[in-house]
């Protein structure tokens, strides 16, 4: 059940009405939301809903065991993590490992057997990370056990279930319990603004670029000129940002209408002047999760410099594999890890020499932003390509078949420019726009949002909306 569909609109109207009607009775509200969450997830497949229910029960049991064990038994934490990771390992990585192990010993065919070609449950990686955070926080004593009902609602909350953001229990569980008070804090203006902007990003820019230029070039790069391929590499960077941040905007807006505030997940990532800064702006909830539950447990920055570099690279390689079971994702993660390790090493070297952190001028900052963006675009090639050989073909094509002008249409070029240009618009502009809208009557706000959604729906035409990229992770 995709957000920008008639089916979801009908579903959400019913949920919204029920949520408001039951907000004065927090337990009844949570029971209602649990049912709504599973109806939403069952639309993807009832077997997935059963898997999610089992995962929620197992997580709740281990949270209670770990919270009631003052000795902080590591073996119990290890058992909990192993069981939580089993569904992810089976659905997402078992086939990949089987193929590669078979190929290593000369018995592989290069593709997974039919019995291993299983449909990956929607949002399984996001759900696994949320469950792990509950278990680890209970083991560390940062949070106590919640009721099974609360755990179930937290792990299945439909706005973020399929593709994030990756929330922590400490961020939303108190809101679920205090929904009566949360309802008074609903910022309908911000919610409608985010939903409209998210849908515009997804449909007007992301889906348009995917259909018109990106998919074709990545399928058969040899049929396009070098300049076309270079343009499309940058177009994909815009597409994936608009697709994923668009989903996040809609998820945050939808949750707001239900009285729940979710954390921000993007902060103009393509304005970053370093790869480390990029990860502080891109998929921010994942970056924080990796820092708190992987990088710091590995030793973080408290070890020797070689060990710090190792920790950074391992964290990013695992982040790549979290996105997908494939060598392309591993390379993508390794590229980001190596460059971040180099940046960390340069910063450590300057600190050792007593040199201050450089403060680049206007042109120096532009150069660093451009260099960072070009690296990110290069890495996205491996993220998007379905194999290392295809990624190599795309990159190789940028050196051959040169023409004076690209064959890409001006509308696509305008969409790319808009997707990048909007990131340089100050946040204060959006804040002032929302503030101006909030002073209008709520009915007028709803009409304005409806007109925007109607215009975007007209752009969909007969094509319909495509799946969100991160729903496959």
C-alpha closest to that of 320 among 334, 333, 305, 303:
333
E strands, 151-275, are none
The DSSP line for 353-399 is HTPPPP---HHHHHHHHHHHHHHHHHHHHHHHSSSHHHHHHHHHHTT
For the four alpha carbons of 53, 59, 65 and 68, in that order, the dihedral sign comes to negative
Structure tokens at 258: 């239900």
| Helices marked H in 68-204 | 74-88, 94-104, 124-140, 148-156, 158-161, 169-177, 179-182, 188-199
Can you give the C-alpha Rg of the chain in angstroms? 23
- The secondary structure element, H or E, covering residue 90 is none
Catalytic residues: 323
For the four alpha carbons of 256, 122, 130 and 269, in that order, the dihedral sign comes to negative
User: How far apart (Å, rounded) are the C-alpha atoms in residues 192 and 237?
Assistant: 26
């Amino acid at each position: 059940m995709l957000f920008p569909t008639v089916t979801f609109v009908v579903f959400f109207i019913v949920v919204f009405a029920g949520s408001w009607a039951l907000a004065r009775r927090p337990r009844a509200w949570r029971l209602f939301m649990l049912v709504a969450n599973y109806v939403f997830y069952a639309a993807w497949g009832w077997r997935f809903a059963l898997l999610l229910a089992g995962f929620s029960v197992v997580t709740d049991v281990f949270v209670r065991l770990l919270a009631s064990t003052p000795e902080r038994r590591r073996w119990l934490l290890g058992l909990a993590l192993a069981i939580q990771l089993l569904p992810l390992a089976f659905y997402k990585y078992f086939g990949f490992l089987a193929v590669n192990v078979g190929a290593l010993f000369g018995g592989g065919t290069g593709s997974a057997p039919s019995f291993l070609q299983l449909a990956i449950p929607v949002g399984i990686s996001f759900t696994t990370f949320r469950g792990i955070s509950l278990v680890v926080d209970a083991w560390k004593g940062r949070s106590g056990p919640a009721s099974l009902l609360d755990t179930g609602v937290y792990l299945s909350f439909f706005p973020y279930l399929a593709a994030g953001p990756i929330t922590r229990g400490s961020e939303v569980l108190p809101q679920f319990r205090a929904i009566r008070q949360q309802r008074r804090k609903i910022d309908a203006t911000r919610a409608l603004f985010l939903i409209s902007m998210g849908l515009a990003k997804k449909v007007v820019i992301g889906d348009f670029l995917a259909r018109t230029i990106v998919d074709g070039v990545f399928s058969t790069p040899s049929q396009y000129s070098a300049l076309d391929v270079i343009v499309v590499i940058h177009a994909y960077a815009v597409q994936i940002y608009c697709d994923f941040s668009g989903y996040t905007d809609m998820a945050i807006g939808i949750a707001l209408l239900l009285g729940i505030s979710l954390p921000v997940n993007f902060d103009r990532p393509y304005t970053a002047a370093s790869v480390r800064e990029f990860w502080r702006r891109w998929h921010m909830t994942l970056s924080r999760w990796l820092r708190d539950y992987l990088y710091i447990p590995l030793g973080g920055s408290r070890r020797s410099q070689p060990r710090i570099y190792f920790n950074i690279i391992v964290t990013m390689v695992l982040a790549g594999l979290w996105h997908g079971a494939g060598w392309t994702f591993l390379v993508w993660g390794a590229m980001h890890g190596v460059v971040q390790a180099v940046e960390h090493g340069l910063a450590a070297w300057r600190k050792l020499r007593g040199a201050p952190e450089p403060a680049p001028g206007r042109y120096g900052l532009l150069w660093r932003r451009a260099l960072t963006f070009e690296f990110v675009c290069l890495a996205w090639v491996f993220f998007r390509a379905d194999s290392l050989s295809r990624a190599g073909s795309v990159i190789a094509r940028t050196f051959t078949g040169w023409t004076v002008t690209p064959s890409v249409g001006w509308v696509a070029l305008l969409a790319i420019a808009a997707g990048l240009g909007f990131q340089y618009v100050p946040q204060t502009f959006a804040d002032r726009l929302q503030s101006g809208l909030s002073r209008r009557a709520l009915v007028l706000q709803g009409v304005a949002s409806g007109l925007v959604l109607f215009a975007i729906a007209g752009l969909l035409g007969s094509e319909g909306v495509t799946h969100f990229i991160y729903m496959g992770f």
